[in-house]
Amino acid sequence: MKTIEMTVNGERVQALVEPRTHLADFLRDHQRLTGTHLGCEHGVCGACTVLIDGQPARACITYAVQCEGSEVRTIEGFEDDALMNELRAAFSREHALQCGFCTPGMLIAARDLVLRLPGAHERRIREEMSGNLCRCTGYVGIVHAVASVVQARGASNETPVAQAPTASSAPRFTPVEDRAEEKRQSASPVGAGTRIEDEVIVKHPLERVWAAFADMPGVAACLPGAEITESAGSSVKGRITVKFGPMRAAFAGAAALERDEAAKRGVIRGAGQDALSSSRARGDITYSLSDAGGGSTRIALGIDYSLQGPLAQFSRGGLVKEFVGRMVAEFAANLDRRLAAGTLAPPPAAQLDAGKVFWKWLWSRIKAIFKLRRRAL
Amino acid sequence: MKPAAFDYMRPRDVGEALKALRGANGEAKPIAGGQSLGPMLNLRLARPKLLVDVSRIDSLKEIKDEGDAWRIGACVTHAQLEDKALPGCELLAHVARRVAYRAVRNRGTVGGSLAHADPAADWPLVLAALDAVVRVAGPAGSREVRADAFMTAAFTTVLADDEIVESVRVPKPGAGARWGYYKFCRKTGEFPEAAAALLLDPERRTARLFAGALDRPPQPLDGVARAVAQEGTASADMIAAALARLAPGLGPAARKLRVTAVQRAILQS
Amino acid sequence: MSAEARPGQGVGARVPRKEDARHLHGRGLFVPDMMLPGQREVAFLRSPLAHARIAAVRKPPGSEGRVFVRGDMPEVLPIVAPSTLPTFKLSEQHHLAYGKVRFVGEPIACCVGRTRAEAEDLAEQVEVDFEELPALVDAHQARLDPSIRVHEEWSDNLYLTLQLDNGFDECSKKADVVVKREIELSRQSMNPMEGKGTLAVWDDRANQLVLHSSSQTPHLLRVGVARFLRLNEEQVRVIAPDVGGGFGYKCIVFPEDLCVAWLALKYRKPFRYVEDRREHLVAGANSRQHHYNLTAYASKEGRLLALDAEVTIDGGAYSNWPFTIGLEPGQATGNLPGPYDFRGYRVKTYCVATNKPGFLPYRGVARTGVCFAMELMIDAIARAVNRDPYEVRLQNLVRPEQMPYDNVARKHYDSGDYPRALRMAREKLDVEKWRERQKRGEPDKRIIGIGFASYCEQSAHGTSVFAAWGLPMTPGYDQAAVRLTAGGGLEVRIGVQSHGQGMETTMAQLAHQVLGIDVARVQVVHGDTGTTPFSTGTYASRSMVMSGGAVVNACRELIPRFVRIGAHLLKAPEADCRFENGAVIAPSGSVSLKDIAEAWYMRPERLPENVDRAGLEASVAFKPKRDTGAFSYASHAVAVAVDPETGQVEILDYVVVEDCGTLVNPMVVEGQAIGGIAQGIGTALYEEQQYDANGQPNASTLADYLIPGPTEIPAIRIFHIESPSPYTEFGMKGMGEGGAIAPPAVIFNAVNDALRPLGVEVRDTPLTPEKLLDAIERAKAVPKREAA
C-alpha cells in the first residue's frame, strides 16, 4: 500500500492505495466519484476520460500512484464551468446521449477539443472524438452538439493541416548510401498457417547427429527458455519460459519423442500450461535429417503449434507466428551450437529474449550467407 | 480486469531509476506514460513485480535544438510534438497527431513507444526513416543505437533489463527535403494494417524508405528509396518484390495493402 | 432532420429528454456505481478451452468460503429453457460448468474478494485439469457429423430444424431465371458500453433477496431467479437502475446472476459481479452468425416468384432462458421473405449447437441476417436480368393497395406504402448525381457505388406470435399504473425498462397527450419489480406500443373520475362537463387537476357522495387490437467510395426513409434509428469474433474487436413517413431495432455496385479491407464472366 496525495476537483485528498489501483477505481471506489465510467479498462473506449493536470487522459490505464501531486478533474468537477454547461445544453438539444454511460468521458473530451481547436470543422471533430466510443447514438447528435458549441464560440479558421509538398517539382538525386537491402533485414522464415519451418546444416555426419537427437533431454533443452525437471527415456517434464516484450508466460508440461529410424525423422510432442493465465500451448516439433554432403547433415525443422486461453485471444496472430518463428530459429541455432560442441547437453537456462542470443546468432547466419554468396560470385 | 499486484517507485533521476531496475533482476519494468503497458497490466499479460516510473524525471523531458539535429527526451509526449514543440519539423507533428487518440497522446511518450517496440507503432518506423539515433542510459553510462537497429523483433529491443531510453536525436533534414508518411488503419487511431515512411533529402543525398506494421521491425526498402530519389517514382512490382523479400509471410491481399502504403508515402513526398 | 415536429409536449413533439440531466452531470446510477456496506466483489475463473471434460478442480488452500464450484451450490437448478417448437432439444446450462466446458469463457469457479482485483487473484490460483475434446467450430460440420456432440445426451448437434413450404413447386415452375447465392454473417458481441452486472443483497427488513441488475427485463429476471434458486417470487425483488445500453444482451437470466444471488442468500451480505470488456467479448460473442444457401426463381423482368432457402444458424453451446435458442431460427424462417410480394417459399432452417457462447437475441433478431440475405438476392436477380436493382426492388415490394397483406410466411403486414419509402430514398440520395460521378470517375481512383435495401420489421408482436415460437414465456397484456399526486402531478409506473430509449420522456408525452399534464410533472417509474406492474420487459421493439398503450389507457381511465369530482366542485351536472387540457370544464367555469387532487387527498369533504372509490389511481392492461405485430418499414440508400488499392469502404452518404407509424418524439425516433444504423455499419464493415480451429476466439479487447467510432459513421439523414397502425394506440409502431437491420445489406449492395465492372460480388460480413482486396485480386485472376 502507498499513501498518495492529489487534488481532486479542487479538493486536496490523501489516501492509502494499492499501487495497482487505477485512477478510475480510485476515483470511483475511494472518492465515490462514480461519474467516471469504465467501459473497457484497456484505454480504447474513453468512458473513463478525466483531466489530469488539465489534459484529458484515460483513468483506467493511469494508476492512482502515478497521480501523486497531480490535479485531477472529473465530470463532477465541472458544475460551474460555463463551457461545460454549454456543452451539456447542446448534448441535450442534439440528443447526443441515450444510455448516458459514455457521456461523462465524451463531455470531457469535447470540452478539450473546443478549447484546443477553435473553428474545428466536422471532419476534425469526428477525428478528435474518435477516442470516445458510444454504442447508442451513432455519433450524429454528438458531432452536431460539439460543432454547435465550436460555432457559437466563433473563430472559423481551422488550424491548417500539415501538407507535404507534391511530388511534381521534386528534384532528382542519387543517394550516397548504397547498401544491399538484405544487409539489415531481420526476416526469419515464416510458413503458412500455424506451421513454421527452418533448416540448419551442421558439420557432422548424419549418423552422429541422428544419435545425438536420441538424447531427449538434450534436444528438449535446446528449446529456448526450456528447463528440464524430470526425464525418463524418450519423455521429459519441465517448463518453457517465454518472454514477449513485457509479457511473460511459463508453460509447465511434458514432451515425448517419437522416432522413425528408417526415414531419419522424429517428432517431439509437447504440451504445457501457464498456470496464472490458464493458457495452454501445444507444439509438435518435427525434424528430418538428410545428408548434405561433405560430412554435413541438413536438419529440416518444423513446428505445428497452437495456443489456447487468454494469451491466444488477440487478433494479431501474426505476432505470435513471428515469435514462434524466432523460437524455431533459436532452437536450430542451439542445436547447431551444441552439436558443434560435440554434444547436446548441458542445457542453458536462458529464456528466449530475442536481441540477445538469437540476435547474435542471426547476425552470424546472415554473415555466413553473404560469405557464401560472395564465393558464388 | 485488474492488474496483478505490483510495487511502484518514482525515481528522482536516471541514476536512481537504473539502480532500481538493476536491483530487481529483470522483474521491474520502467513506465512512462503507460499507455501501452497499462492495458497489458490490466489484462494481466504483463506482471512485473515493480514499476519504475520515469515520467517525472526532468532530464528525460527536455527538447533541445542541437543545431543540426533535434534532441527529444524520452518522456516527451506525443501531444507535445503534435502541438509543435519543435517548430519547423512538420513531419513529427503530422505523425504525432495520428498516434492513437488525444487522451492517449497526452500521456504516451516517444521513448516509451520505442521501448515498447510494437511493430505497428508510429515512432519506430518514422524515426528509422529519419535516421534518428537513440541514446540509451545504462549501468556503464550512455550508448547510442541507430533507430533502425533499435527494435530487434516485435516487442523486443536492444535494451537490457537495466537500461532505459534517454533521448532520441533526430537529424534535421536539409533544405528541400521531402517526406511522406502513410498508414492505413481500419479505424481512426487504431493499429495500422500497413504503414510506410519516406525521407528524401537531396542536400544530404539521403533517401530512406521503411515499411512498418509487418509483425517485425520496420523494414528498409533501400532499392525503392534509391529509385524514387533518382527517378521520382518506383514501380509497384519493384515494391512488391522488395516486400516479398523482407516480409515473406504475407498473403496477396496483405502484400497489396502494404505496396499501396509504400506507394502513397512516395506520392505524398 | 426532416420530421416536422408538432408543437407542445404531446405526441409528435420533439421534447428534450428528462433523463439527460443526471447523465450530463455524471450522476447516473449504474450497477457498477453502487457500494453497500460489507459488499464483496465476484470474479470468475473461465474456461480457456472450447470443449473439454473437467477432470478435477483444485481450490487454492485457505480459500474456504471464497471459491465456489458447481457442487458447492447444490440448491441452484440448471438453466433449462423449454420450447414447444417441433424437434427442439433441451440444453442444460449449469450456472458453473458441470462435467464439461462447452465454450471458451464458460464460468467454472466463482471467486470472492473485497475488491475485484483480489477476486481475480483468487481465480488465478484455482487449478483445473481438463481432458480436451475436439471443438465444434463450424456449424455445417457440427450438423453433418454427430460423432462429436456438444450435448452428449443428444443424438446430433441440432437444437432444432424448422421447415416451411408454401406454394414453392407451383410458383418456381414459372420462373425464367434461377439465381443461386451463398451468403454469410460472422459472429458478433453486442457491446453495450456497460457490461452486464448484478449486485445481490439480502434485505432483512423486507425479507427479500434484492438484485440490483443491469437488466432490460427486471420482471422476467425475477421470475427466472426465483425459479432457478427455488424461491418464491415474492421473496425476490429486481431493481434495474441506470443501464448502460442493452441491445438484447441484458434480457436473459445469466449464470452469473444466479451465483451472486446464491451468495447473497447464503451469506446475507451484498455480492456483486460486473462483467469486464474482455469477458464480454470472449464469453459474450453470441449473435448474428447465419449462413444462407438461397435460390431465387424470377421472371425475365426480375419479378420474384419463389424462394428456396437453407438457413444455418450457429446457435452456440446453450439455449438461453427465457427466449430460447428457438427465437433466432423462428424469426429467420418467418422474416426472410421481407417486404416482398411473392407466393412460393420453401425454407429449411437448422439451428446447430457449437462450442461457442449461446446465441442471444441481438437488436434486429435474425432480421439483420435475413435482410442481408434477401437484399443481396434482389440485387443478384437484377444483375441476372440485367436491370437496375432499384427497379427490380420497386416492382417486387408489397404495394399499398395490398395492405393489410398476409405474406408467404403468413406474416400480417398491417399498413404502409413500401414502394414510396424506396422512391423517396432514391430521390433523397440523388441517384442521378452519384451515377454521374460514378461515370466520371474519382480523381483519387476510388470507385463510387450506390445501393438500396428495404425491410419491414415486426414490432410489438404479442401473444399469438410468441405462442407459436413456444418460448417459456409469452407476452400478453402490458400494464401501466398511473396516479395523480396530491399536487396535481402524475406518477406513471411501467414494467418495462428504459436504458437509452428515453421512455422517461416519451411515456410522459403520452400521458400529457391524454391528460394535459406538463411533461415536467409526469414522473415515470420503471425498472423495479417492487414498484411497477408486471411486464415481460423491453425487447422486440415493443415498449412504446405495449407499455405506452397501457399508459394511454390508464390515463384515459382516470378521466371520468376527474369529471365526476370536477362537476361536483363546479356545482354543474356531470353531463355538462368535459375534460380538456388538464381541467374539467363546465359552462360556468373550470377546475384544474390540482383542485381535483386536492379534494381527493386533502379535502375529502369537498367530494361528491357518489365519488368513484377507485380514486385517482388506475392500473390498466393493454394489448393491441391485433397482436400479430405492427410492422414498421424503411428503405435505406447509400453511396460509397471503394478504394481498390486498400480495400477501404467509405460511406459518402446514408439516407433513411422510415415509417414507424405515428411518431411520439421524432428526436428519439431518429436517435434510435441512427444508433441502430451505427451498429449495423459495425456488422457490415468492422465487427467480428473469429475462432481458430480449437474454438479460441481471437478478439478479447476493443483493439481486436472494432466497434465503429465517429469517423466510421457518416452524417446519416433520416426522413419519415407516418402511416398509423390500425391496431395500436395513436397508430404507433415499434422501431428500436430497425436501424440495425438494413446497413449490411445496403452497404454490400453499394460495394457490389461499385465493383461490378471488376466482376466482384462480396457476400460475407464483415467486409474487411483484406477480404475486399482478396476478392479483387481473385477476380483479376479469373477471366470475366457474364453477370450470373
Report DSSP letters for C351-380, one per residue: EEE-SSPPP---TTTTHHHHHHHHHHHHHH
Strand boundaries in C529-577, DSSP class E = none
Cβ–Cβ under 8 Å, residues C426 and C643: no
Residue B82, CA distances (Å) to A57, A303, B33, B92 in order? 16, 45, 16, 7
Domains in chain C and their CATH numbers?
Answer: 34-133+196-243+250-283 (3.90.1170.50), 285-464+626-781 (3.30.365.10), 477-622 (3.30.365.10)
Q: CATH class for domain B178-268?
A: alpha beta
Mutate to test the interface with B, among C645, C686, C704 (most CBs of B within 10 A): C645
- Determine contact: B97 vs chain C, CB below 8 A: no
Length of chain B: 269
Cβ–Cβ under 8 Å, residues C345 and C337: yes
Question: Are β-strands B7-9 and B50-53 bridged in parallel, bridged antiparallel, or unpaired?
Answer: parallel
- Report how many helices (DSSP H) and strands (DSSP E) chain B contains, helices first: 11, 14
Q: Is the link from the previous residue into C404 a cis peptide, with omega within 30 of 0? A: yes
Length of chain A: 377
Chain A positions in Cβ-Cβ contact with residue C709 (cut-off 8 Å): 129-133, 139
pLDDT digits (tens, 9 = 90+) for A148-196: 999 999 865 555 444 444 445 678 888 886 444 433 333 333 223 378 8
Length of chain C: 788
CA distance C764 to C360: 21
Report the CATH number of the A186-353 domain: 3.30.530.20
Sign for the CA dihedral angle at C165, C170, C174, C176 comes to positive
Where in chain B do CATH 3.30.465.10 domains reside? 58-171
Nearest CB to B94; choose among A162, A323, A355: A162
Report the CATH number of the B58-171 domain: 3.30.465.10
For all residues of chain C together, what is the average pLDDT? Answer: 96
**pLDDT over 70 for what percent of chain B?**
100
Q: What pLDDT does A355 receive?
A: 43
Q: Can you name the residues that pair with C79 across neighbouring β-strands? A: C93
Question: What H or E segment, with its residue span, contains residue B242?
Answer: helix B236-246
Chain C positions in Cβ-Cβ contact with residue B188 (cut-off 8 Å): 709-712
What are the cell numbers at C385?
436480368
- Report how many helices (DSSP H) and strands (DSSP E) chain C contains, helices first: 20, 30
Amino acid at C70: R
What are the cell numbers at C700?
478479447
Dihedral pair phi/psi, residue A369, rounded to 5°: -60, -45
Asked if residue B246 has pLDDT above 90, the reply is yes
CA distance C43 to C113: 8
**C703 DSSP 8-state letter:** T
Q: CATH class for domain B7-53?
A: alpha beta
Cβ-proximal residues to A314 (8 Å cutoff; 6+ apart), any chain: C698, C699, C700, C701, C704
CA distance A99 to C500: 4
Q: What pLDDT does A344 receive?
A: 65
- Give rounded-to-5 percent helix, strand, coil for chain C: 30, 25, 45
CA distance B257 to chain C (A): 5
Determine the residue of chain B that is closest to C44 in CA distance.
B1
What are the cell numbers at C214?
443491469
Cβ-proximal residues to C376 (8 Å cutoff; 6+ apart), any chain: C181, C183, C745, C748, C749, C752, C763
Q: Do B186 and C700 touch (CB under 8 A)?
A: no
Where in chain B do CATH 3.30.390.50 domains reside? 178-268
CA distance B126 to chain A (A): 15
Determine the residue of chain A that is closest to C689 in CA distance.
A315
CA distance B173 to chain C (A): 29
Rg of the Cα atoms in chain A: 30
Cβ–Cβ under 8 Å, residues C331 and C365: yes
What are the cell numbers at C767?
467486409
Protein fold of A2-78: Ubiquitin-like (UB roll) (3.10.20)
Nearest CB to C28; choose among A100, A132, A316: A100
- Determine contact: C704 vs chain B, CB below 8 A: no
**C76 DSSP 8-state letter:** P
B contact chains, 3+ CB pairs < 8 A: A, C
State the average pLDDT over residues B17-44.
96
Q: Can you name the residues that pair with B181 across neighbouring β-strands? A: B197
- Determine contact: A49 vs chain C, CB below 8 A: no
Dihedral pair phi/psi, residue C529, rounded to 5°: -70, -20
Decide: helix, strand or coil at residue B256. Answer: helix
Q: Can you name the residues that pair with C770 across neighbouring β-strands? A: none
Task: Give the CA dihedral A3, A6, A11, A17, nearest 10 degrees.
Answer: -40
Cβ–Cβ under 8 Å, residues C272 and C199: yes
Q: What pLDDT does C461 receive?
A: 87
Q: Do C33 and A20 touch (CB under 8 A)?
A: no
CA distance A7 to A4: 10
Question: What H or E segment, with its residue span, contains residue A230?
Answer: strand A226-232
Under-70 pLDDT residues of chain A: 155-169, 177-193, 342-377
Number of other CB atoms surrounding residue B19 within 10 Å: 15
The domain limits of chain A are: 2-78, 82-152, 186-353
Cβ-proximal residues to B79 (8 Å cutoff; 6+ apart), any chain: A55, B96, B102, B105, B106
CA distance C76 to C91: 16
Query: Considering only residues 109 to 148 of chain C, which have any Cβ-Cβ distance to chain B shorter than 8 Å?
Result: 115-117, 120-121, 124
Strand order in the sheet with A279-293: A195-202, A296-308, A279-293, A265-274, A247-260, A235-244, A226-232
Under-70 pLDDT residues of chain C: 1-4, 783-788
Number of other CB atoms surrounding residue C472 within 10 Å: 17
Q: Do C675 and A138 touch (CB under 8 A)?
A: yes
- Give rounded-to-5 percent helix, strand, coil for chain A: 35, 30, 35
- Determine contact: C709 vs chain B, CB below 8 A: yes
- Angle formed by the axes of helices C593-601 and C549-570, to 10°? 80
pTM of the model: 0.95
Nearest 5 degrees, angle CA B162-CA B163-CA B166? 150
Cβ-proximal residues to A196 (8 Å cutoff; 6+ apart), any chain: A189, A190, A302, A303, A305, A321, A324, A325, A328
Nearest 5 degrees, angle CA A155-CA A158-CA A161? 160
What are the cell numbers at C85?
417448437
Nearest 5 degrees, angle CA C448-CA C450-CA C453? 155
Question: Are β-strands C271-274 and C40-46 bridged in parallel, bridged antiparallel, or unpaired?
Answer: parallel
CA distance B77 to B110: 6
Q: Do B253 and C703 touch (CB under 8 A)?
A: no
- Report how many helices (DSSP H) and strands (DSSP E) chain A contains, helices first: 9, 12
Amino acid at A142: I
CA distance C294 to C380: 11
What are the cell numbers at B79?
501531444
Two domains, one topology: A2-78 and A82-152: no
Chain A positions in Cβ-Cβ contact with residue B226 (cut-off 8 Å): 174-175, 178
Q: What pLDDT does B86 receive?
A: 82
Cβ–Cβ under 8 Å, residues C712 and C723: no
What are the cell numbers at C493?
409506473
Q: Do A142 and C710 touch (CB under 8 A)?
A: yes
Residue A308, CA distances (Å) to B121, C349, C694, C766 in order? 26, 32, 8, 24
Superfamily of domain A82-152: [2Fe-2S]-binding domain (1.10.150.120)
Chain A positions in Cβ-Cβ contact with residue B175 (cut-off 8 Å): none
Q: What pLDDT does A155 receive?
A: 64
Q: What pLDDT does C287 receive?
A: 98
Q: Side-chain half-sphere of A67: how many Cα atoms within 13 Å?
A: 34
What are the cell numbers at A102?
459514455
CA distance C55 to chain A (A): 15
For all residues of chain A together, what is the average pLDDT? Answer: 84
Q: What pLDDT does B87 receive?
A: 78
